[in-house]
Amino acid sequence: MLIDTYGRVATDLRVSLTDRCNLRCTYCMPEEGLQWLAKPDLLTDDEIVRLIRIAVTGLGIEEVRFTGGEPLLRPGLVGIVERCAALEPRPRMSLTTNGIGLKRTAEALKAAGLDRVNVSLDTLRPDVFKTLTRRDRHRDVLEGLEAAREAGLTPVKVNTVLMPGLNDDEAPDLLAWAVENGYELRFIEQMPLDAQHGWKREGMITAGDILASLRTRFDLTEEGSERRGSAPAERWVVDGGPHRVGVIASVTRPFCAACDRTRLTADGQVRTCLFAREETDLRAALRATPEDPSGAPDADADAEIARIWRLAMWGKKAGSGLDDPTFLQPERPMSAIGG
């Protein structure tokens, strides 16, 4: 098991497949992009599958979420999903994506064994989308969402970040649209994880603001916390059901005490928290003990990697530290950690 000194057990692994992206969301990346990781530093597909195998067979990981950067930009994605689906025990698998290109790949991902997707969409207005993401790709995202639903990558969840003065008036419209289209909407509070360090607590749209805005049009009944797969969204039943809406209040109502996550960056570093300032290198251990070309696991080498991973988790801090006056934003931005 991956257990920490506070007794929390990690069963949910977030794997970043790339730090690159084809959008430039203002709360995430600067317009010019970032200095991308060099190819030799990235884990290969084989290395990723090996680490996931170690996590699933030896460390109690039950759920794997592929993310990035934009994970659909990783050429080997379908193959990675297929190989992970063959693991025993088979993990639940999902993908967090901006949806661009999902129209082409949804069927193949489903056939490979992906269970569901989360698609990020912040607005129903193409012009606002262009301002928020600095790219004119609104239609591609809508088409990607439809393709995911048609392929059965359900429930399709939609992640939305509201930004003051840009899309903060859209919460009720987004919920009406999600209900109509059979998507489950989840609002995420903006976090201080942008590369430009532009986050400000004052003026940020809080869970309280979002709920007040939704209640101008909908009757919301609190359902309680969604615990399955550690999803931190607090959920509300919309107009008596069956539809639900979620709010992930990472800033104003942190859920650190119930956290069951561990994270792997595209260059093979374990992070125990989005806000952690320390990382543990698994890539060096992996490359020091390459797998036999036949793919046969080397039990001793894998046990050593599992030991390093357990040790990293043991050092997990109690909380994000966001409310601490000495809080310092981590050096890696969200797109390089894997959101």
- Position of tokens 């940020």? 204
At its nearest, how many Å lie between ligand SF4 and the CB of residue 64?
A: 18
Which does residue 24 touch among ligand SAM, ligand SF4, none (CB within 5 to 8 A, set by kind)? ligand SF4
Which does residue 234 touch among ligand SF4, ligand SAM, none (CB within 5 to 8 A, set by kind)? none
Q: Which is nearer to ligand SF4, 119 or 301 (by Cβ)?
A: 119
Type of residue at 255: F
Q: Among candidates 149, 147, 128, 150, which has minimal Cα distance to 137? A: 128
111, containing H or E segment = helix 102-112
- The answer to whether 142 and 174 are in contact (CB under 8 A) is no
Summarize the annotated binding site as residue ranges: 14, 21, 25, 27-28, 65, 69, 96, 120, 157, 191, 256, 259, 261-263, 273
Encoded tokens for 306: 């599992």
Burial 312-331, CB ≥16 within 10 A → b, else e: bbeebbebbbbeeeeeebbe
At its nearest, how many Å lie between ligand SF4 and the CB of residue 54?
A: 26
CA dihedral sign of residues 212, 218, 224, 228: negative
193 binds ligand SF4 (CB under 6 A): no
- The answer to whether 3 and 52 are in contact (CB under 8 A) is no
Summarize the annotated binding site for GTP as residue ranges: 14, 65, 96, 157, 261-263
Q: Which residues bind ligand SAM (CB under 6 A)?
A: 21, 27-28, 67-68, 70, 96-98, 120, 159, 161, 188, 190-191, 193-194, 334-335, 339
158 binds ligand SF4 (CB under 6 A): no
Residue 252 phi/psi, 5-degree rounding, is -90, -20
21 binds ligand SF4 (CB under 6 A): yes
Which does residue 190 touch among ligand SAM, ligand SF4, none (CB within 5 to 8 A, set by kind)? ligand SAM
237 burial level (CB within 10 Å; 0-12, 13-18, 19+): middle
Q: Which is nearer to ligand SAM, 96 or 105 (by Cβ)?
A: 96
Q: Which of positions 57-116 make contact with ligand SF4 (CB under 6 A)?
A: 68-70, 98
Instruction: Enter the DSSP assignment of 245.
Output: E
At its nearest, how many Å lie between ligand SAM and the CB of residue 193?
A: 4
Q: Which is nearer to ligand SF4, 21 or 61 (by Cβ)?
A: 21
As beta bridge partners, residue 185 has 158, 245
Please report, as ranges, the residues that interact with ligand SF4 according to CB under 6 A. Answer: 21, 23-25, 28-29, 68-70, 98, 120, 335
